[in-house]
Homo-oligomer: A and B are copies of this chain.
C-alpha cells in the first residue's frame, strides 16, 4: 500500500478522553474512531489488525478440528426465557423491540442459540463429538464503557461450543481448547496465562481465564513466577489425544495462578516466597465446562449407544478478538508508539523514502516494494512529500516491526537502512539483502 492512497488519519495530539495507553495509541495511530459511547469504527489500519487476529483464531480453531459457522447478532428473547437467563441477565443485555412488538436482544453470548441449533439437528451420539464456533459482534451495555476497545459495548468475540456424550469427552474438549488457545495467543506474540476463574453468568464449575500481564490490567492476579517460563512453542500435538491435551493442561495449570476472584491466600502462601508474584492482568479469553446446564433446560438430548436419551455435556470457550487489539498494544509499546509482534502486524515492513521525487530514490523504493510484494508480503510505502522526521514518527507510532529507509546518500553507496522497531537498531545493507532478511523473518514466523 502506498500511504498517499491510504486513509491513515494519525493524530498529533494525545486525545484527552483516553485513559490507558492502548486507547491513546489506537486513536493517535488512526486505528479507530469512536462512533458513540463504547462503540467504535475500525479505520483501515485498525481493521487490518482485527482481520489478522481473526485469521489466526480461525486457523487455530481449524487445526483443533472445530467447525466455523455464524450466528446472527440479534436473538429472540424466547430462547433466553427457556434457559431462564432472560430475566437473570442484568441491564448489560441490550433489549430491543421490533416493529411487531416482539422482544429481541443483541446477543452478549450464544449458549441458548447454539443449543437450539443442536437440538433441532442432532439426535444421536454418532454425531458427537462436535465443536462449533463463530466470530461475531456482541453487545454488552456497559454502564460506563471506557478504555477504548478494551471495555467497549459492541465487541468482536470468538465463541465456541462443544457437545459431547460424556463428562470425560467434554473435559477433553475443555483441555483441547486450552491447548489451542495457548497456541493462538503465542502466535499473536502474547503470553496469556491460564488462571483458575469464576464462572459468572455462564455457569459451571470448571473454568479458566487467560490473562496477559500488563500494568493497566483490570484484574489483580497472583501467580507462581515459574509459570512465566512456560512456552507452548512449536510442539506438535494430536488434538484427538486425550492424554496429550491433558498433559498440556496439567503442565500449564499445576502452578498457582489465580485472579482476585478466586485467590486463596493460604494456598498462595505455600508457593516459595521468592516465586510469589502479584501483578495485574488483562483477560483475553475464557473456557468453561458447564455439563448439562443448558442441554437439560432446553432439551438437547442424544440417544446413547444403549438407546437411552441423555442430555449432552457442553462447554463454551471465548476469545475477545477486538479486545486483543488493545491487549497486544498494552503489552507491546514504547514512548514512540505501538510495536506490533510480527504475527499480527498490519504491514510487514515500512518503506520510507527520504527524498520523494528524487528519481533514484523513487525507483529504489518502488523496486523494494515490488520485491516484497512478490514474496507475498505487504509493505507500506510512505511516498508522501513529507520531511523525514514526520515519516519516521508516523512509522514509529503505527508500529510496523521493520522499516527500510531509502535516501539518495545511501543509494550512492549502494545501501539502504533496515531498522528494527523493537530494538531501534539500524543496519545498512544493499536493498536486495534487506528484502531477503525480511523474507526470512516472516518465513520463520508463519
A interface residues, Cβ below 8 angstroms from B:
5-7, 9, 30, 33, 35-37, 39-44, 46-48, 50, 65, 67-76, 91, 94, 96, 98-99, 102, 104, 106, 113, 117, 120-122, 127, 130, 132, 134, 137, 139, 141, 143, 153-154
| Known interface pairs A41-B113, A117-B43, A132-B7; A35-B99 also in contact (CB < 8 Å) | no
Q: Residue of B at shortest CB range from A152?
A: B72
Q: Residue of B at shortest CB range from A77?
A: B36
Where chain A touches its partner, the secondary structure class is: mixed
Which residues of the other chain, B, contact A121 by a CB distance below 8 angstroms?
7, 9, 30, 33
Measured CA separation A7–B65 after assembly (Å)? 12
What would 29 A/B residue contacts be, using CB atoms closer than 8 Å? A7-B121, A7-B130, A7-B132, A9-B120, A9-B122, A30-B121, A36-B74, A36-B76, A36-B104, A39-B72, A39-B74, A41-B69, A41-B71, A41-B113, A42-B70, A42-B71, A43-B117, A47-B68, A47-B69, A47-B134, A48-B68, A50-B70, A74-B106, A91-B99, A94-B96, A94-B98, A98-B141, A98-B153, A137-B137
Measured CA separation A143–B66 after assembly (Å)? 37
Which residues of the other chain, B, contact A46 by a CB distance below 8 angstroms?
69
Quote the shortest CB–CB distance from A91 to chain B (angstroms).
5
Measured CA separation A94–B96 after assembly (Å)? 9
On whether the beta carbons of A7 and B67 are closer than 8 Å, the reply is: yes
| Known interface pairs A35-B75, A72-B40, A143-B99; A67-B6 also in contact (CB < 8 Å) | yes
On whether the beta carbons of A99 and B69 are closer than 8 Å, the reply is: no
Measured CA separation A72–B134 after assembly (Å)? 18
Give 7 new A-B contacts, CB below 8 A, not counting A41-B117, A94-B99, A96-B96: A41-B72, A41-B113, A44-B68, A48-B68, A74-B106, A74-B139, A99-B141
Quote the shortest CB–CB distance from A445 to chain B (angstroms).
21
Quote the shortest CB–CB distance from A71 to chain B (angstroms).
5
Which residues of the other chain, B, contact A96 by a CB distance below 8 angstroms?
94, 96, 106
Measured CA separation A69–B44 after assembly (Å)? 4
* Best-buried of A69, A113, A141 by chain B (most CB within 10 Å): A69
Which residues of the other chain, B, contact A70 by a CB distance below 8 angstroms?
41-42, 47, 50
Quote the shortest CB–CB distance from A55 to chain B (angstroms).
11
Which residues of the other chain, B, contact A39 by a CB distance below 8 angstroms?
72, 74, 76
Measured CA separation A132–B42 after assembly (Å)? 12
| Known interface pairs A94-B98, A96-B94; A35-B71 also in contact (CB < 8 Å) | yes
Quote the shortest CB–CB distance from A268 to chain B (angstroms).
37
Which residues of the other chain, B, contact A104 by a CB distance below 8 angstroms?
36
On whether the beta carbons of B72 and A154 are closer than 8 Å, the reply is: yes
Which residues of the other chain, B, contact A91 by a CB distance below 8 angstroms?
99
The 9 closest A-B pairs by CB, nearest first: A9-B121, A36-B76, A42-B70, A41-B71, A47-B69, A47-B70, A91-B99, A99-B141, A39-B72
